[in-house]
Homo-oligomer: A and B are copies of this chain.
Amino acid sequence: MDKTKFVLDEKDMPTAWYNIQADLPEPLPPLLHPGTKEPTILPPPLFVEALNEQEFSKERWIEIPEEVQAIYRTWRPTALHRAYRLEKALDTPARIYFKYEGTSQAGSHKPNTAVAQAYYNKQAGVKRITTETGAGQWGSALSFGCMLFGLELKVYMVKVSYGQKPYRRILMETWGATCIPSPSTDTQIGQKILAEDPDSPGSLGIAISEAVEDAGTHDDTRYSLGSVLNHVLLHQTINGLETKKLMAEQADVYPDIIVGCVGGGSNFAGMFLPFVRDKIDGTKPDLRIINVEPESCPTLTKGPLTWDFGDVAGMAPIAFMNTLGHGFIPPPVHAGGLRYHGMAPIICHLLKLGLVEATAVPQVATFEAGVTFARTEGILSAPETNHAIRVTIDEALKCKEKGESKVILLAHSGHGHFDLAAYDGYLAGRLEDYAYPEDKVKEALASLPEVPAK
């Protein structure tokens, strides 16, 4: 009998994160200061020194502190599953594996960095943290992380998701955090946006601006970002490292295709970075790494690679990334975690270098894929994850057409237990696709920051 799932023993859990910056064929562009437009570190009023060091480090391996490892061990290592029933339902010769991050206490991959960030902030004497959240995955993960280290937390939650997902708020409150809908009246930027549009559904960009303003105006407070930045992607590599080890040592396979969803990019980068290294050094030239995003927020597939602010208000550093414009507010798709105008600079850089690829999918088709997954593998997946499942199924069906037995690895980022209203809508035929809002993007791209040529 072939194995259904593969699990590392605790003692074999990786003890260092993998830093791709040690192996990039050309270095990342710098971050620029939003005011001076000069290269900058992460603003010290917002980030503690340890995280700043990780952001720019060129060390290949960064040790995971024992306190963080101890907490990781409460749910990690997570299992790699073989999706036999999905393969059978699709009648495909493809071999589908998925690494499932939904067994963490918060239900997704997000605690991998939440725990680490809370730890480093605690070490630096910080008392309080602010953050933003889209679908609520990040906010609840950081609530979990802050609870573990006795830190206060205030979460600005994108208003459309706050309304759609009340359970996420309650989860955060159960862990002791405060959660309010964004835009809010608690910050100047929130007040300004509400004055212009009282019905604003919010966006990750707006929520980031509010959390940044809050942290910047309170001495004991730092800000925490759940994706995009290099140190966040770094912390997520624990997942890719576990997967690579499991595939090599237990499943005895290497993926032909790796698929994951990208909003800010940390979930999928955490999975593929340890693998992309094999593409950089020429060991695995044919490995395909597919970033999947929503058609209604197609940052990698439609956004230019250029300089843009990380947030709506222009208070965050300027990054060189694919962007739809920092003023762009995506349609209210259920995959709230994918509603971000930009993308992790590391992913954009790898896309430019031809080391990864990207594709965009419409909302209804992702739920169709999610229901197929639920009715075969049993797991009710997050709407974000359904984007990756859609492409996994499509690639498996291509294998069927061509009679190829490829190994497809799906980065399964978490469960959808708090997203069932969206499934209800899908099953009742009420869910809709949103066209790519080309005009809005055009408008947003007209307001990019002016950055002097290097």
Contact = CB atoms under 8 A, between A and B. Distances in A.
Interface of A: 1, 3-5, 7, 9-11, 70, 73-75, 81, 85, 103, 105-107, 144, 147-148, 166-167, 170-171, 173-176, 371, 374-375, 377-380, 415, 417-418, 420-421, 423-424, 427
B427 A173 contact: yes
Contacts of A4: 10, 70, 73-74
Contacts of A166: 420, 424
Contact of A144 (B148, B167, B378, B421): B378
A126 B171 CA distance: 41
Nearest to A105: B378
B417 A167 contact: yes
B374 A174 contact: yes
Contacts of A423: 170, 173-174
Nearest to A102: B103
Given A4-B10, A417-B167, A174 B73 contact: no
Contacts of A75: 378
Nearest to A427: B173
A175 B74 contact: no
Given A3-B11, A105-B378, A174-B423, 8 more contacts: A1-B70, A85-B148, A147-B378, A148-B378, A166-B420, A167-B421, A174-B371, A417-B417
Among A9, A147, A170, A423, the most chain B Cβ lie within 10 Å of the Cβ of A170
A418 B171 CA distance: 11
A171 B170 CA distance: 20
Given A74-B4, A74-B378, A417-B418, A427 B174 contact: yes
Q: Closest 9 interchain pairs by CB?
A: A105-B378, A4-B73, A417-B417, A170-B420, A167-B420, A170-B424, A103-B103, A174-B423, A174-B374
A11 B106 CA distance: 29
